[in-house]
Amino acid sequence: MQVATACCIALLGAEGHLIDVQVAVSRGTVGTYVVGRPDASLHEARDRVRMAINNSAPTPDDTWPATYRVTVLLAPADLPKSGTHFDLAIAVGVRAACGAVPAAALADTVFIGELSLSGSLRPVTGVLPMVIAASARGITRVFVPESQAREAAMVPGMEVFGMRSLAQVVAQLNGDEVPEAAPVAGPVRSSLLPPGRGAVDLLDLDDLDGMEDAKYALEVAAAGGHHLMLNGPRGAGKTSLAERLPTILPDLTTEQALEVTALHSLAGLLRDGDGLVRRPPYFAPHHDASKASVLGGGTGRVRPGGISRAHHGVLFLDEFPLFRADLIDALRQPLESGEVTLARGEESATFPARSMVVLAANPCPCGNFSASVNVACTCSEPVRAGYRRKLVGPIVDRIDIWRDVEPVSAGAAHDRFAPRVDSATVRARVERARRAQALRYAGRSWLLNGLVPGPVLAREWPLEDAGQQLLEDRLRAGTLTRRGVTRVQRLSWTVADLREVERPGVDEVDVALRLRTAEPLSGADVRRAG
């Protein structure tokens, strides 16, 4: 008997840590001991692994070393470990410590998978981020359940072995003929929705009549990665606008697609056969959603919430004033930093959350109040004022663009001669503007205007003097805060990029101010977008 080491990955948030699963089979007090800060699921692994080895052993000599002391150390011992995906690494380590597998065959290899009592492999969540972490640490080979081999193979340069059972893994490591085994069952998921593309993928900006002002605001938000607030009576089209925002966003780059797919893997959203997530994701939680579902959390392993699942995409919070106060307050950090950190006791987990946040609100609780449409509103003015007070404070001050959306008149809705534009045309303009930003910020940690730190923007990419003076006048008049000045500067650069202007001038700053303060845009401003 000897000491053998197999490798696995521990996930803390979206960060993976390489774990040495060291197994020693020795004489002493008979028993199995798992040490190194394991959680309850890892303590239960002792029984799963023992029965899996016994039930897949080809001969009696290959069964569990029942008359020996088996010590399993998960190193480094100071990191918390959780999850059933350690089962395969523990089982392989025990077989190697017993001499049934050559220790050299475990080098530069990571083992991921849950074992059933019969020795078959079951899928686990988070395979992609685990394999990404393994690759970053020089690992070149990984064993995973067969149904998740495609997910693991998304990582370039990784040799992936999709296996159905522990017996197949041992045979592969020994260079023997791999035995037949029953197929690995995929994750059990049920949905009432029909298969195929999501509803958002079937929408187009051309579906909407009128609302040229709001559509232009959508285009600016998409081009610069700006957060957006839509305010208007019910039925005005706020949700329709938000749902079409992903249709004008460019496809994700390979790096972005890996990040988003890894987060969806952590959240357990990937299905068998899914490839990289190439389109920007869209999530719209109900206003009664918990803080854990939107920001992340949960019992056991911390999982990403909606704002992280919408990373590089759109998070839509409809009926924003109805969301819980603690959730609204907790949104401040991810809106500003682009990541969310969850702390529980001695543990903390950080997830990326660089999504575009779109808020929508009615002007009153009944949703009927409108300055332009004569619809009966049942709310008194004090009630409307109290409702509007929910739209102030540190959260909404972090929103770049404000738009008031009014219902489209019957005449405008049926105007065959009104200018129309589809999502593909707008997406081409957004891509062109984003290419200009990527060139300007080459070598920096940000790619979009909406992410540039204010001091850096003012120092290295200032506005023209006349435009800057216009902002200073607004600041002295008290109609714009210092944070608001930074937001307008970012918006000015996005407007300039869409217009293919080398540097924002007074016209671009004026449009940015109108976008920031919800003032109406002129028809000429909107037409210049095309």
The answer to whether the bond into 194 is cis (omega within 30° of 0) is no
When the candidates are 3.40.50.300, 3.30.43.10, 3.10.180.10, 3.30.30.10, the CATH number that belongs to 199-444 is: 3.40.50.300
Q: Which of 427, 455, 466, 432 is nearest to 203 (CA)?
A: 427
Q: Which two tokens stand for residue 120?
A: 């078959």
pLDDT in tens, 241-273: 999 999 999 999 999 999 999 999 988 888 766
Q: For domain 3-174, is the CATH number 3.40.250.10? A: no
Reduce the DSSP state of residue 491 to 3 states and report it: helix
Is the distance from CB of 166 to CB of 52 less than 8 angstroms? Answer: yes
Give the span between the Cα atoms of 351 and 330, in whole angstroms.
14
Give the span between the Cα atoms of 390 and 316, in whole angstroms.
17
Total length of the chain: 530
In what order do the strands lie in the sheet containing 314-317? 282-283, 314-317, 356-361, 228-231, 401-404
Q: Which of 268, 289, 283 is nearest to 314 (CA)?
A: 283
Per-position pLDDT tens, the chain of length 530 = 689 999 999 998 888 999 999 999 999 889 999 999 998 888 899 999 999 999 988 887 788 999 899 999 999 998 889 889 999 999 999 999 999 999 899 999 999 999 999 999 999 999 999 999 999 999 999 999 999 999 999 999 999 999 999 999 999 999 999 999 888 776 655 454 444 445 566 789 888 888 888 999 999 999 999 999 999 888 888 999 999 999 999 999 999 999 999 999 988 888 766 788 999 999 999 988 888 889 988 766 788 999 999 999 999 999 888 888 888 888 888 888 888 888 776 677 889 999 999 999 888 888 777 766 556 787 888 887 877 777 767 777 789 999 998 887 665 555 565 667 889 999 999 999 999 999 999 999 888 999 999 899 999 999 999 999 999 998 888 888 888 899 999 999 999 999 999 999 999 999 999 999 888 887 666 766 55
List the chain domain ranges.
Answer: 3-174, 199-444, 452-530
Where b means 16+ CB within 10 Å and e means fewer, 135-165 reads beeebebbbbbbbbbbbbbbbeebebbbbbb
